[in-house]
């Protein structure tokens, strides 16, 4: 196949590209320029978006002996990921920008362009397995598994994707990079959100959305127990940084239960009130089931990245997905993905996903 | 494989390579007083004389540098500093809007860090700077201008500038005139004395010499403040141990290129015409950018409507054809060419452009390989240019 390897400058995508070369594919490396101004993105060797990362990717491509280009995706990235991120928070939801980037950039804008230019597939360094059966499975390295942020991909997108790392642990990938003479073997993993340079999400949102002071209200008493500078800065399940001025009656910690943009209110309450047993999600995408699947199924669901899984009965009807959890989950935030897995000894299979709308 | 990027760098001439290797085997610092030093100095000074003779300069007017970027910076900044030091009112740099980044960014730096003002000369739609444009600038600001710089030939679209006329205008006001002739030497006749320029940039690797060596031809009466301080090896204008091997090879290349220039221009110009005709035959809506009459013999530069230059480059690269989008990159991202924008092209036309440049090793087969591969590449790039999701 003629494949396009998306190369971030990190160790995973470098080894993924190397494996694609070794598998006999005709590989071209592409680094995505996502920032309008590289200086505004984070500095240092932290992941994907600096000039240094671009050079690391280029060096890896040169070591592998493959062509390397930079594709400017900054406009699309800002429209589809950054602006979406801000709008979702403004609407009281908690977005996952990595997932959105996969859905709209890597496996959409990039893949579309690749196919138009005559490539057959996009290769990435995601830790997930995509077998000949077309099913997406968790990586063998469960702590590094990225099937959650890939579960948003549809059948056509998966059919044009190659994930060469799913059968390896991160440690094995690093060792292989060193063996292959790739300089990024010891490069630290990327964390955080690539377009928030200093990791200060609240500050970033404030700079984009402005200050919008409002009340923090106790769910049981209705009493105002604190003030906030913008409801968008809060996430369901959050405990730290609330700055409550009125202690709880029972003296126990309180958590963000909900965000109501209409009234600019953040509601807090006890841990028990965070527990939800029913989760609603929209825009379902099925890759392990027929695309138009409707009906009931028993499965496990995951409700946030690197979160735990819950056995559940999922009902699908009229483009909505309702999951009844066998044990209650905490900190379920609208905007996150609900990913439906079928447990298997050889690794859970992604059946599909939806975007959580309410609980 | 078809190498169509000679304006980026061109293969070394075998006689230059041999001269390089022979000299590099010898020991000796041209500044040393002993026999080995004298020997190296002998090689360097012979080379200086050969370059001077080939380019219409006195040997003492040849200042060896590390190449085009250094020569341009030395000429622009060095002349500006020296001139302003003598006359504080001379705080203005006049440059064409189609300069190479080595000149353009040096001017921008003077504006940002030295309080200079810039007078950018507008190009016409072929990339040409008319003498009337410079005359108007000088009529308005001559008393404040420290230096005028206009390239001899444009590196992207190949447009040749009326250097002698422009230099004469500057000279009439007593203003030093620099020209970046990196793309011109060996392609068209270049005579420093006859041009009337005060300073002229030339570099080795565009004429079949090595990378990393070049020269600034600098009139003996032109004051220049150095960029590099040290041993003062080159007229106290440039410091650094002289690269005898590089300089010898550079001289061989310049001499050979200048000697062969007419024959070269006829042969390569013919190939270029074949390329232009061929491209326009297979992609009839392609637009030839630049000037028909005042053009480097090896340069062809097109816009391909509906395509993005970087997509075309990728597709042609995969077919073994090396070409260039012609414009500079920022963090690896191709920027719309400031040259095309200065010529009045819109953003789409600027982004859809590709440069093909021929040189001394080019053959008809190279041209034909491009013409064969181009239609499918353009068709694909057009499909990718208007990205609609093919995945639904």
Domain coordinates in residue numbering, chain B: 2-8+261-384, 14-259
Each residue of A310-322: b (16+ CB within 10 Å) or e?
Answer: bebebebeeeebb
- B2-8+261-384 maps to CATH 1.10.3720.10: no
Give the per-residue pLDDT at B303. 96
Local structure of A128: helix, strand or coil: strand
Cβ of A33 and B331 within 8 Å? yes
Beta bridge partners of B5: B357
Among A42-46, A162-166, B64-68, B174-178, whose mean pLDDT is lowest?
A: A42-46
Among A177-191, B29-43, B81-95, B105-119, whose mean pLDDT is lowest?
A: A177-191
Q: At what angle do helices B244-259 and B14-24 cross, to 10 degrees?
A: 160
Residue B320 contacts residue B1 (beta carbons within 8 Å): yes
What does the block give as tokens for B232?
């003062």
3-state helix, strand, coil in chain A (%, to 5): 30, 30, 40
CA A284/CA A291 separation, integer angstroms: 9
Cβ of A58 and B329 within 8 Å? no
Judge whether residue B114 has pLDDT over 60.
yes
Residue B173 contacts residue B138 (beta carbons within 8 Å): yes
Is A101 a catalytic site residue?
Answer: yes
Most confident of A265-279, B93-107, B327-341: B93-107
Look-up of token digits 């012609």: B326
Q: pLDDT-based confidence at A42, cuts 50/70/90?
A: very low
The structural domains of chain A, ordered by start, are 2-125+164-186 (3.40.50.620), 211-273 (2.30.30)
CA A216/CA A202 separation, integer angstroms: 16
Across the range B256-274, mean pLDDT stands at 98
Look-up of token digits 């959050």: A238
Across the range A189-199, mean pLDDT stands at 79
What sections of A24-109 are H helices per DSSP?
51-64, 74-77, 83-90, 97-101
Q: Residue B365: is it exposed, middle or buried by C-beta count within 10 angstroms (0-12/13-18/19+)?
A: exposed
Is A48 a catalytic site residue?
Answer: no
CA A347/CA A7 separation, integer angstroms: 26
Give the per-residue pLDDT at A248. 82
- Look at phi and psi of residue B115 and say left if phi exceeds 0, alpha if psi is from -120 to 50, else beta: left
Alpha carbon dihedral A147, A149, A151, A155, in 10-degree steps, equals -100
CA distances from A118 to A26, A315, B23, B252 (A): 12, 40, 49, 45
Q: Write out pLDDT tens, residues B287-305.
A: 999 999 999 999 999 999 9
Across the range A54-61, mean pLDDT stands at 93
A109 in contact with B, Cβ within 8 Å: yes
Cβ of B332 and A54 within 8 Å? yes
Domains B2-8+261-384 and B14-259 share a fold: no
When computed from its CA atoms, the radius of gyration of chain B, rounded to whole angstroms, is 22
- Look at phi and psi of residue B320 and say left if phi exceeds 0, alpha if psi is from -120 to 50, else beta: left
Cβ of B391 and A69 within 8 Å? no
Residues of A in contact with B329 (CB under 8 A): 70
The B-side interface with A (CB below 8 A) comprises 310-311, 313-315, 317-318, 329, 331-334, 380-381, 383-384, 387-392
CA B93/CA B103 separation, integer angstroms: 11
| Per-window interface: A 270-299 vs B, CB < 8 A | none
Please indicate whether residue A270 or residue A248 has the higher confidence score (pLDDT).
A270
CA A31/CA A51 separation, integer angstroms: 11
Judge whether residue B329 has pLDDT over 50.
yes
Among A192-196, B89-93, B119-123, B321-325, whose mean pLDDT is lowest?
A: A192-196
Q: Of B350, B226, B243, B331, which is closest to residue B287 (Cα–Cα)?
A: B350
Judge whether residue A47 has pLDDT over 50.
no
Q: pLDDT-based confidence at B174, cuts 50/70/90?
A: very high
Across the range A348-353, mean pLDDT stands at 96
Give the per-residue pLDDT at A49. 63
Local structure of B61: helix, strand or coil: helix
Residues of A in contact with B308 (CB under 8 A): none
Best B331, B335, B377, B378 member to test A by mutation, with max A CBs in 10 Å, is B331
Cα of B13 to nearest chain A Cα, Å = 27
Give the per-residue pLDDT at A243. 86
Class of domain B14-259: alpha beta
Cα of A346 to nearest chain B Cα, Å = 30
A70 C-beta neighbours (distance < 10 Å), count: 21
CA A28/CA A68 separation, integer angstroms: 6
Q: pLDDT-based confidence at A198, cuts 50/70/90?
A: confident
Give the per-residue pLDDT at B140. 97
Q: Write out pLDDT tens, residues B371-392.
A: 999 999 999 999 987 654 444 4
| Beta strands A26-33; B353-357: pairing state | unpaired
Residue B329 contacts residue B380 (beta carbons within 8 Å): no
Look-up of token digits 């028990």: A272
Local structure of B114: helix, strand or coil: helix
Give the per-residue pLDDT at A58. 94
Cβ of A113 and B381 within 8 Å? no
Residues of A in contact with B391 (CB under 8 A): 108, 111-112, 115, 154, 156-157, 160
Residues 6+ apart with CB under 8 A from B346: none
Cβ of A117 and B392 within 8 Å? no
Phi, psi of A231 (to 5 degrees): -60, -25
Give the per-residue pLDDT at B388. 47
Look-up of token digits 């995505």: A32
Judge whether residue A347 has pLDDT over 90.
no
Across the range B2-10, mean pLDDT stands at 97
Give the per-residue pLDDT at B332. 66
Active-site annotation holder among B329, B346, B347, B376? B329
| Beta strands A68-72; A26-33: pairing state | parallel
DSSP string, B81-131: HHHHHH-TT--EEEEETT--HHHHHHHHHHHHHH--EEEEEPP-TTS---H
What does the block give as tokens for A171?
């440690």
Q: Residue A222: is it exposed, middle or buried by C-beta count within 10 angstroms (0-12/13-18/19+)?
A: exposed
Judge whether residue A40 has pLDDT over 60.
no
Cβ of B310 and A71 within 8 Å? yes
Q: pLDDT-based confidence at A196, cuts 50/70/90?
A: confident
What does the block give as tokens for A270?
């006890």
CA A310/CA A151 separation, integer angstroms: 16
CA B313/CA B319 separation, integer angstroms: 10
Q: Residue A308: is it exposed, middle or buried by C-beta count within 10 angstroms (0-12/13-18/19+)?
A: exposed
A111 in contact with B, Cβ within 8 Å: yes
CB pairs under 8 A between A and B: 60
Residues of B in contact with A54 (CB under 8 A): 331-332
Average pLDDT of chain A, as a whole number: 91
Across the range B36-61, mean pLDDT stands at 98
Judge whether residue B312 has pLDDT over 90.
yes
Local structure of A315: helix, strand or coil: strand
Across the range B21-44, mean pLDDT stands at 96
Judge whether residue A134 has pLDDT over 70.
yes
- Look at phi and psi of residue A222 and say left if phi exceeds 0, alpha if psi is from -120 to 50, else beta: left
CA B304/CA A79 separation, integer angstroms: 27
Cβ of B332 and A58 within 8 Å? yes
Across the range B241-251, mean pLDDT stands at 98
Average pLDDT of chain B, as a whole number: 95
Strands (E), chain A: 2-6, 26-33, 68-72, 121-123, 128-130, 136-138, 161-162, 214-218, 224-228, 254-260, 265-270, 276-286, 295-302, 309-317, 320-329, 337-342, 349-358
Across the range B327-352, mean pLDDT stands at 84
What does the block give as tokens for A15?
């080894």
Across the range A314-325, mean pLDDT stands at 95
CA A123/CA A130 separation, integer angstroms: 11
Cβ of B391 and A117 within 8 Å? no
Give the per-residue pLDDT at B386. 60
């Amino acid at each position: 196949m003629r494949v396009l390897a998306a190369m971030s400058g990190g160790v995973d995508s470098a080894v993924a590209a190397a494996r694609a070369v070794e598998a006999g594919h005709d590989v071209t490396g592409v680094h995505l320029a996502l920032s309008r101004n590289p200086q505004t993105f984070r500095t240092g060797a932290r992941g994907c978006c600096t000039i240094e990362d671009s050079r690391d990717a280029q060096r890896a491509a040169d070591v592998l002996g493959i062509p390397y280009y930079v594709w400017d995706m900054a406009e699309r990235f800002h429209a589809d990921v950054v602006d979406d991120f801000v709008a979702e928070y403004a609407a009281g939801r908690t977005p996952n920008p990595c997932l959105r980037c996969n859905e709209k950039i890597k496996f959409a804008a990039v893949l579309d362009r690749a196919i138009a230019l005559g490539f057959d597939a996009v290769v990435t360094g995601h830790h997930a397995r995509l077998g000949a059966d077309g099913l997406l499975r968790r990586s063998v390295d469960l702590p590094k598994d990225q099937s959650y942020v890939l579960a948003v991909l549809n059948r056509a997108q998966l059919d044009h994707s190659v994930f060469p790392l799913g059968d390896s642990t991160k440690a094995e990938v690093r060792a292989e990079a060193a063996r292959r003479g790739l300089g990024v073997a010891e490069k630290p993993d990327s964390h955080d959100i690539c377009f928030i340079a200093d990791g200060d999400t609240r500050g970033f949102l404030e700079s984009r959305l402005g200050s919008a002071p409002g009340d923090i209200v106790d769910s049981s008493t209705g009493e105002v127990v604190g003030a906030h500078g913008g409801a968008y800065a809060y996430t369901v399940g959050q405990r730290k940084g609330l700055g409550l001025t009125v202690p709880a009656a029972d003296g126990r910690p309180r958590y963000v239960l909900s965000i109501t943009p209409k009234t600019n209110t953040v509601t807090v309450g006890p841990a028990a009130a965070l527990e939800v047993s029913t989760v609603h999600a929209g825009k379902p995408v099925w890759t392990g089931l027929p695309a138009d699947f409707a009906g009931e199924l028993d499965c496990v669901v995951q409700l946030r990245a690197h979160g735990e899984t819950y056995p559940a009965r999922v009902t699908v009807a009229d483009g909505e997905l309702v999951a009844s959890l066998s044990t209650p989950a905490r900190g379920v935030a609208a905007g996150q993905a609900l990913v439906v897995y079928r447990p298997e000894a050889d690794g859970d299979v992604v059946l599909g996903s939806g975007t959580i709308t309410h609980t | 494989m078809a190498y169509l990027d000679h304006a980026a760098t061109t293969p070394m001439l075998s006689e230059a390579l041999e001269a390089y290797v022979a000299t590099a085997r010898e020991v000796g610092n041209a500044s040393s007083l002993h026999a080995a030093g004298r020997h190296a100095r002998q090689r360097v000074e012979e080379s200086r004389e050969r370059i001077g003779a080939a380019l219409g300069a006195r040997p003492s007017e040849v200042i060896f540098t590390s190449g085009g970027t250094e020569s341009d910076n030395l000429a622009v900044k060095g002349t500006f500093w020296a001139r302003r030091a003598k006359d504080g009112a001379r705080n203005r740099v006049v440059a064409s809007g189609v300069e190479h980044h080595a000149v353009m960014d040096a001017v921008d730096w003077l504006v940002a860090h030295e309080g200079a003002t810039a007078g950018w000369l507008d190009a016409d739609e072929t990339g040409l700077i008319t003498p009337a444009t410079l005359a108007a600038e000088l009529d308005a600001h001559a008393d404040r201008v420290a230096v005028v710089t206009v390239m001899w030939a444009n590196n992207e679209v190949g447009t040749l500038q009326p250097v002698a006329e422009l230099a004469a205008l500057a000279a009439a006001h007593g203003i030093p005139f620099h020209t970046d002739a990196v793309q011109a030497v060996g392609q068209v006749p270049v005579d420093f004395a006859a041009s009337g320029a005060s300073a002229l940039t030339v570099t080795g690797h565009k004429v079949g010499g090595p990378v990393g060596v070049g020269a600034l031809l600098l009139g003996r009466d032109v004051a220049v403040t150095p960029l590099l301080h040290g041993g003062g090896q080159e007229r106290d204008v440039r410091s650094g141990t002289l690269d005898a091997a590089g300089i010898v090879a550079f001289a061989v290349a310049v001499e050979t290129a200048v000697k062969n220039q007419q024959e070269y221009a006829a042969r390569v110009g013919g190939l270029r015409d074949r390329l232009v005709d061929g491209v326009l035959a297979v992609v009839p809506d392609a637009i030839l950018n630049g000037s028909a009459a005042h053009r480097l013999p090896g340069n062809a530069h097109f816009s391909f409507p509906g395509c993005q230059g970087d997509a075309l480059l990728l597709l042609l690269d995969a077919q073994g054809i090396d070409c260039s989008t012609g414009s500079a990159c920022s963090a690896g991202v191709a920027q719309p060419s400031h040259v095309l924008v200065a010529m009045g092209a819109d953003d789409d036309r600027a982004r859809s452009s590709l440069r093909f440049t021929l040189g001394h090793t080019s053959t008809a087969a190279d041209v034909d390989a491009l013409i064969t591969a181009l239609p499918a590449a353009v068709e694909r790039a057009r499909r990718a240019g208007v990205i609609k999701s093919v995945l639904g």
